[in-house]
Amino acid sequence: MVKNNRYQESFGVLIRKLRIKKAIGQRELANRIGVAPSYLNDIEKNKRTAPKKELIKKISDILEINLGLLYDLAGSSKNKIAPDIEEYILDNPKISSLLRTIKESKISNEEIEQLENKFNKSNTKALIIAAGLGSRLKKHTEDLPKCMLDFGGKTLLQRQLEAYKKFGIENISLIRGYKKEKIRYKGIKYFENTDYKNNNILNSIFYAEKVINGNIIISYSDILFDSSVVQRTLESNHDISVVVDIDWRGYYVGRKDHPISEAENVIFNSNNEVEKIGKINTGKEEVHGEFIGMIKLTNRGAKIFKQHFHRLKKIYWNKPFQRAKTFQKAYLTDMMQELVDIGVKVHCIIIESGWKEIDTVEDYKKALDGFKRKLTKI
């Protein structure tokens, strides 16, 4: 059996690893997908090629792994292309003609990636992280998650959804945790962070790993942002981008409950590439901006992000990681700094204001006052 060089593991090996990770017995998984345990055993030991599409879809749902990845590995197990792609080509003769044109034109891999990114830009989706307790908002979040706080007759989450949908982003997922039953909007795909009390933003993201592919914007749920921020973010075609506000200092004037020392700052070079990100231990006059809690990944960037997350998880679980006491408590900025440290380019999407963080009672009151005075654009 020839293994696809794009992936480190075969279909069977990956299935076995994920099954064990989820504490699912071989017989149990076989029963749930409707096959004999001996058949599944042969697949996991690479004695059989991958099953048909219908079974692969069931496996993807149970093990919560990206279906496209399983299809690719399934094709590789048979020395063929992915079954869903093969079926699509057979059903659409023009696709076969287009592929031949690309082959005969000798388009480079770089040019193909550029075409892919251009196409994906119109198919960008969003993932909102909304699992946290919001304890610094005290009485306001005793019975509500932060994203359900009211701002001028609409919840914080509603305003985020409107900003995304203004630019055609309809494919939206959300990670719930604290008071999850309070978040009930139609048209959103929900994921549950079942351990939100013990983990932090980085690990929370991976409860929705199956949607982290293609072009995707990932954002915190406790930020109010203008639609112009979404527009600027969509314009980036870099694999991994972080949104950075360079007009950030004024927001901390008089902000007592969340002082400037707690800002997630960014230092970037002349190419707008991150050098330092997070709660930087340096003079605040040396930093260039503040990370607002929003990133964008291309399909390639998503693969890089996920690959390194799983590699680092094995190394640092229950151990200090970057500025976090343990990997479980890591912030998204810890992951971004790690990527920078190992040579992965992280690009800055530069904005000048257009957003607000709602982290404390003080933040909430100021934002509400802004709505009342009609001084915000959001």
Q: Is 121 helix (H, G, I), strand (E, B) or coil?
A: helix
Closest CA to 370 of 349, 351, 355: 355
Distances (CA, A) of 256 to 135, 241, 349, 359, 366: 16, 30, 28, 12, 12
**158, two tokens:** 């509603």
- pLDDT on residue 363: 87
Write the single-letter amino acid at 109: N
The confidence score (pLDDT) of residue 106 equals 83
Nearest-angstrom CA–CA distance, 111 and 173: 30
Alpha-carbon distance 153 to 302, whole Å?
35
Instruction: For tokens 């707690």, name the residue.
Output: 262
Handedness of CA 22, 26, 28, 33 (dihedral sign): positive
Residue 110 Cα to chain centre, angstroms: 24
Closest CA to 76 of 99, 56, 96: 56
> Residue 1: its pLDDT value, please?
36
**186 phi and psi, to 5 degrees?**
-75, 155
The pLDDT of residue 169 is 92
Dist CA 31 CA 25 (whole Å):
10
**CA 212 – CA 206 distance, rounded (Å):** 8
Q: Report the pLDDT value the prediction gives residue 291, as an integer from 0 to 100.
A: 97
pLDDT given at position 373: 60
Q: Which amino acid is at 314?
A: K
Q: State the virtual CA torsion across 204, 208, 214, 217 in degrees, nearest 10.
A: -50
pLDDT of residue 122: 63
Per-residue pLDDT at 105: 86
Q: Are 134 and 178 in contact (CB under 8 A)?
A: yes
**Could you list the pLDDT tens digit for every one of the 378 residues in the chain?**
334 444 457 899 999 998 998 899 999 999 999 999 999 999 999 999 999 999 999 998 898 777 888 898 999 888 888 999 989 899 988 888 888 888 888 888 888 777 765 665 568 999 999 999 888 887 888 889 999 998 888 999 999 999 999 988 999 999 999 999 999 999 999 999 999 999 999 999 999 999 999 899 999 999 999 999 999 999 898 999 999 999 998 888 888 888 888 899 999 999 999 999 998 876 666 899 999 999 999 988 999 999 999 999 999 999 999 999 999 999 999 999 999 999 999 999 999 989 988 889 888 888 777 766 654 454
pLDDT of residue 177: 95
Helix/strand/coil percentages in the chain, nearest 5? 45, 15, 35
For residues 206 and 170, give the distance between their C-alpha atoms in angstroms, rounded to a whole number: 21
Residue-range domains of the chain with CATH? 11-102 (1.10.260.40), 123-372 (3.90.550.10)
